[in-house]
Structure 1
């Protein structure tokens, strides 16, 4: 009984005292923001046909669909071309800044709004990876995804480095954060008062308002509280929200693979081992016909890949209890998605799935990866004859990077 009580208390302390998985949340932040950014940049010449008011899925059709599903999209606030261009550029900018980890809490909200606005405007644009990105953009808002490998983390280390630098850094950080918070708050009040949120699912407006108010409370407590208890309480709440969101992200990834695997089992082509053959010979999914012919020329290879895909997807959620088996299947799934990106011409679907898989990568591997990137960057800078800045390696127990900023 005592062991059980100790285990429970230890688990509670672990969930409340720290934001778990700092490297995992950082890598999925980088992965999903990079995926969306690359997609927006690639489709920039075709943006009006995909999401613009004069595209095939025109303004009237979009209005009829929004009236039924009540989905949020800022693109339905105006049918002008200028507003569309503003939203598209804002989505690009938010993705880039979230990738860099600048004001990650605020940028994660703008990133979510950009993803939802464009995807809900034209629901028929996508290849499956858009559904994953859609969900994960919402979950990222609740995570402390800037603890490591971010400009926020670098700024936090700089603020803590020396007394004089700390004071100077806090003034700069607070000025930027307060201005950003005030500008976005004014826009939020104007949008709400203008009835732009009327008739849509209240989930998105509630999330945006809660984050905006939470940042204000965090800043006031950090600046004005005379004791440490309010700050500790906010840290505990933030850790619980972060850890809960991280658990949901992991559960979502497992659910995606489990449902995909079990649905495949019910298909006759998956049962007879020929399912992989057919997409290789569809013109839409054959950017490299010669490579597709080479892979499908062996019936044994097609059968092994078909059955292997089902086995890996069905078994993966159960392998989380065994680290070694989980890592093997994780490598297999990431390799499979890389092959899909090349052979079937679905790079953004594959990037989204690899980003989702990254939440299960071991911390030791991610730390080594970060050290390798830091050394490679230092070598590149040294070759250019410049003194390298401190590398991105984070401390053993990263501290939250949003504590002293309202944005």
Structure 2
């Protein structure tokens, strides 16, 4: 063994190499020992996080579809749409009852032959054009009033909603060149409302359902009894081979017994899902209409300088109540405020929904 002096140098003048403890690992060995072990550790730590995220996403998806296919939501809003648009069309029919023949009938400048040629080119339909007789027109006009009134009242809404859509489309198609954007919106909404549960509240259907009550579905006790009987039949079938046919017949009868309930649950899920999709389409349609109208107004110079309301309120087409139009057009500042408020409301309506 070579001795080392107090100055820390060997007798031959060379610098000694410090001895390393046998138990102390080298830096390279430490890196080689820790690096491979760290990667599996990180993966093991990330695996529960991914699994938890997948579970949360699956639960959210299941909850979403359960909510969509559950009971219909927004029934009060759907009922309000039914009453509102139905009342608008009913008011139009009653208001124009004295001018009905000039607008939709045999005295209209837009004759029935001209209307047929136009509709044949765009694949349009109208029950008013089935016959040229006056009695047919008068019958359809009276039927439209009755159907619309029943639709507003919510009497057998499923059937009357279809008839209401047919009437709206027929009257709009008869004098297509006389319609405007408002008539188009009413026609679109009449189609969408057929797929909504708009008769669940504020309707005669809801009143009848409260008075008569709903048919109560079979309770779990009956199902338990059936399954106990099937279990006993299977136990007996293990002892008697010919009993297998009886077990099969019992299973078939049980399926037939449960079929009405399963079909009712399927029908309820389809009705709820269709209602929710239709309500979403209605909301999207309204947002598109308001946004498009507002953006088109922004491009006009009259809306930019605030004088558009003055010109609109003095047009005969927009003056069903002249006194109210004169009141709204009371001053320049008031008219400018109404013009800008109209534009801001229409453009920003989608952000308020």
Correspondence for 2:167 among 114, 120, 127: 114
The answer to whether residue 66 in structure 2 is matched with residue 13 in structure 1 is yes
The answer to whether residue 273 in structure 2 is matched with residue 240 in structure 1 is yes
The answer to whether residue 284 in structure 2 is matched with residue 251 in structure 1 is yes
**Are residues 93 and 292 of structure 1, via their aligned partners in 2, closer, same or farther at CA, if it must alter by over 3 Å?**
closer
In structure 2, the residue matched to 1:81 is: 134
Correspondence for 1:23 among 66, 76, 96: 76
CA distance in 1, matches of 2:269, 2:323: 56
Deviation, structure 1 residue 290 = 5.8
The answer to whether residue 164 in structure 2 is matched with residue 101 in structure 1 is no
CA RMSD of aligned residues (A): 2.2
* Greater gyration radius: 2
The answer to whether residue 76 in structure 2 is matched with residue 43 in structure 1 is no
In structure 2, the residue matched to 1:172 is: none
Matched residue pairs, number?
A: 261
In structure 1, the residue matched to 2:295 is: 262
CA distance in 1, matches of 2:108, 2:316: 24
Normalising by structure 1, what TM-score? Answer: 0.60
The answer to whether residue 353 in structure 2 is matched with residue 302 in structure 1 is no
- Secondary structure (helix, strand or coil) at the match of 1:124 reads helix
**Are residues 290 and 55 of structure 1, via their aligned partners in 2, closer, same or farther at CA, if it must alter by over 3 Å?**
closer
**Are residues 284 and 246 of structure 1, via their aligned partners in 2, closer, same or farther at CA, if it must alter by over 3 Å?**
closer
Unaligned 5+ segments in structure 2 are 1-52, 217-255
In structure 1, the residue matched to 2:121 is: 68
**Are residues 305 and 153 of structure 1, via their aligned partners in 2, closer, same or farther at CA, if it must alter by over 3 Å?**
same
CA distance in 2, matches of 1:147, 1:19: 9
CA distance in 2, matches of 1:156, 1:96: 20
Unaligned 5+ segments in structure 1 are 164-222, 321-407
Per-residue CA shift, 1:74-117, capped at 9, x if unaligned? 11211111111111111111101111111100000110111111
In structure 2, the residue matched to 1:151 is: 204
CA distance in 2, matches of 1:294, 1:78: 46
CA distance in 2, matches of 1:53, 1:303: 44
Normalising by structure 2, what TM-score? Answer: 0.69
- Secondary structure (helix, strand or coil) at the match of 1:239 reads helix
CA distance in 1, matches of 2:320, 2:81: 28
Larger RCO: Structure 1 or Structure 2 (Cα < 8 Å, ≥ 6 residues apart)? 1
